[in-house]
Each structure stands twice: as C-alpha cells, then as structure tokens.
C-alpha cells in the first residue's frame, strides 16, 4: 500500500522544501522536534540508543497502513512534522476522517509559513486518499496554535477530552 498511496508521495517545492513520509531512521530527528516544545519536553525522551518504544510505535504505524509521519525538510534538516492517520468510519455516511496529531515546526523555522505548508500538504494528501473530514485537537494552552488552525479553516466544534490509561 505504501507505493503509490497519496499519503506517501514525495514533493519538493521550488525553494527546496521536501515533504515526505518518515522512515524509521528519521525517529531521532522527529523525537528531537517533539522535544523542541514546552509541552513536549515532559512527554518525550531522546536517548542514545533511542528507547525501543519509539521504534515499536513506528513499526505499528507502518503495519496499520493509512498512518504516517509527514516530514518537511530542507537540505536534509528536519524542520517540521505531523502525524496523519486515516480513519475509515460508518458515521457521516461512511466518511473517512483524517486525524492530525503532533504538529511541530522547529523553533528556528517558525514564522516562515512552514506550518501552513505542512498542514496544506496534509489536507491535500488526505483529500486525495478519500478523506472527507479532517480533525485535530490542540491543547487549550496553545492559543497561537488555535488561531493558526482557525486561519486554515478549522472550526471549534467539539469539546476534546482525554483519559490517560497508564
């Protein structure tokens, strides 16, 4: 399913920004990017060797299909990422949803429009893969992120809730 899937396309902009799905070898750079965030600092661990749980999670995502980490890089440097998951469903007349999680842009690259480019690519890939609805949650403390998503056309429609199952 990986080859030819709209989720796994490789695109490069004229300015040299490449958008592609992650490979397992990208995990340390992804974890570093997730850590480059006030909330992420308490959630992730970047160690050498990388904790095995990250590799197991990546392999589970690949085995599931329709679940990728979309990366934005320039000159081989990871500048942004997000997780994009397709969720086939019965409600809304069999609508497939696209779920977005873990959107991050490197601190040094913020303000360059990279997050918007990454999200627009995720929207296009989701649409091309047959999704009719895209959803995401953002921590209520991320006021700037909420404004960013609203600028892209997302609307607050539900109250998001989580239950930690540890």
Tell me what pLDDT residue 87 has.
96
pLDDT tens readout for residues 56-77: 999 999 999 899 999 999 999 9
| Residue 1 Cα distances to 22, 40, 157, angstroms | 15, 31, 33
CA nearest neighbour of 70 among 54, 82, 61, 62: 82
Q: Which domains does the chain possess?
A: 6-151 (3.40.630.30)
Q: What is the DSSP letter of 107?
A: G
CA nearest neighbour of 104 among 66, 124, 78: 78
CB-based contacts of 28: which residues, under 8 Å, 6+ apart?
46, 50
| Sequence-ordered strand ranges (E) for the chain | 11-12, 18-21, 67-74, 77-87, 97-105, 133-136
Tell me what pLDDT residue 9 has.
81
Low-confidence stretches of the chain (pLDDT < 50) are 1
43-58 burial, b at 16+ Cβ within 10 Å, e below that, comes to: ebebeeeeeeebeeeb
The C-alpha atoms of residue 123 and residue 127 are separated, in whole angstroms, by 6
Tell me what pLDDT residue 58 has.
96
Tell me what pLDDT residue 4 has.
59
């Amino acid at each position: 399913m990986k080859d030819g899937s709209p989720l796994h396309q490789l695109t490069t902009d004229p300015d040299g920004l490449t958008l592609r799905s992650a490979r397992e070898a990208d995990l340390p750079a992804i974890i570093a990017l997730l850590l480059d965030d006030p909330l992420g600092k308490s959630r992730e661990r970047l160690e050498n060797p990388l904790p095995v749980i990250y590799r197991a999670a990546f392999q589970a995502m690949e085995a599931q299909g329709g679940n990728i980490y979309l990366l934005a890089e320039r000159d081989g440097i990871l500048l942004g990422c997000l997780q994009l998951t397709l969720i086939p469903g019965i409600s809304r007349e069999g609508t497939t949803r696209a779920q977005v999680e873990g959107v991050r842009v490197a601190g040094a690259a913020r303000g360059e429009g990279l997050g918007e480019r990454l999200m627009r690519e995720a929207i296009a890939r989701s649409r091309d893969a047959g999704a009719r609805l895209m959803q995401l949650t953002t921590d209520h403390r991320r006021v700037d992120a909420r404004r960013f998503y609203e600028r892209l056309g997302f609307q607050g429609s539900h109250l998001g809730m989580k239950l930690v199952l540890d």
